[in-house]
Every structure is written in C-alpha cells, then in structure tokens.
Amino acid sequence: DVKVTQSSRYLVKRTGEKVFLECVQDMDHENMFWYRQDPGLGLRLIYFSYDVKMKEKGDIPEGYSVSREKKERFSLILESASTNQTSMYLCASSFSDSSYETQYFGPGTRLLVL
Amino acid sequence: GIQVEQSPPDLILQEGANSTLRCNFSDSVNNLQWFHQNPWGQLINLFYIPSGTKQNGRLSATTVATERYSLLYISSSQTTDSGVYFCAVDVGAGSYQLTFGKGTKLSVIP
C-alpha cells in the first residue's frame, strides 16, 4: 500500500513563528504536492515538485516556501505564520510517467495560528 | 484556468437511498478523478475516469467529455459513505496538476 505520512495531525502556532510541515512518501513517487483546504473552497494547490530540488508554484504560493532535498520528503514552510494561514494542509504524491496516475494523500495537518 | 463546479454542495440522505453527484468543468481535460474525504480528513481516490463509465461496488461514475460533465452515483447508501466528495481535473500537457471542485458534502443518516 502507498503510504503518505505527515509529521503532525494537529499544530498550534503563534503569529510570526516559522512553521515546518513535513511530508514523507514511501512509494518512490516523483511528484509531490502541498494543498490547503478551507471550508467552501475545496483544495487549492500551494506548491508542487517534480523531482529532488525542483519546485513549482501552484495557485496560492504567497506566504509559503517548500524544500525537497530527498525524493521521499517534501516540506512546506511558513516563514512567518499569520492567522489567515489557519487551515488544513494536505500533502500528496504521484508517479510522473503516466497521465493515468492518481494522487495519494496524507492524513492532513490541521494548523491553528493564534 | 479551468473551472470545476460541483453540485449539490450539501446532500442529506436516509440510509439505503440512492444519489447522484455532478461535476461540470469548463474546458477539455486530460484526467478526471473522483475522491472521497472521510470525516477524519483522509482523501481516497475513487475513480480515474476522463471518459466513459466505471463501476466499483455500490459506486459508479460516468464522464461525458464532449459535454464536459461527470456524474458519481451512490446506490444503497451507508453511513460510511458520509464525507465530502471531490471532483478533480487536469488539463494535461504534462502538468499533472489537479484542479479541485469545492466538493459535495454528503451526510447519510441511519
């Protein structure tokens, strides 16, 4: 079974803190993605990566950065957390060699910024 | 970019009832998928269905690509079907990025 894990299920941080969200997948997938999910808005893509050390902006990258130093790990960084970044964060991964691939999701991290 | 609209936004069913969820998209797509998010937040892929019809147990899906819509059918609903159903599309050209609809929240009551 494909397994995508995220470092925390719940996280509480203060405004201005630097926040790291970690995602690890065990299926040797090339592609990895970070989404945020807010009520009534569905999932919105923040950043994605096709390969190690490679990153591309998604639809809402402002206020976020990412790091992919190893193939299995993709980190989302909130440089200075703000209350409007309170959200559910979902990581996903997929193979890149076919348009028939699906994305496999982690369990999500619920982040509260006070 | 491509627009994805799902309807209805909310649906309440009695256990055992059938339902149809709809996904409309604004442009040609290379890939269309249906996902289920359970009440604990885990998203699971249900179908990869850019065209045609597929069935998996009590669930089936049909995509009419020429008319830019997809339908997800749930028959004999169970309380475990509760959650949010998302439709997601990508426009191809090697992007592999999925654009998600806002989802349909389904509540199945005993």
Tens digits of residue pLDDT in B76-109: 999 999 999 999 998 766 566 789 999 999 999 9
The amino acid at residue A90 is L
Size of interface A-B (CB pairs under 8 A): 53
Looking at residue B76, the DSSP 8-state letter turns out to be S
Residue A67's alpha-carbon distances to A75, A78, A98, B42, in angstroms, are 5, 11, 24, 24
Interface contact flag, B33 A31, Cβ < 8 Å: no
Mean pLDDT of B39-52: 92
For residue A26, count other CB atoms closer than 10 A to its CB: 12
Cα–Cα–Cα angle for A106, A107, A111, nearest 5°? 110
Average pLDDT per consecutive 10 residues, chain A (114 residues; last block may be shorter): 88 97 94 93 92 92 96 96 97 76 90 97
- B100: closest chain A residue by CA: A43
User: Quick one: average pLDDT of B15-27?
Assistant: 96
DSSP B20-40: EEEEEESS--SEEEEEEE-TT
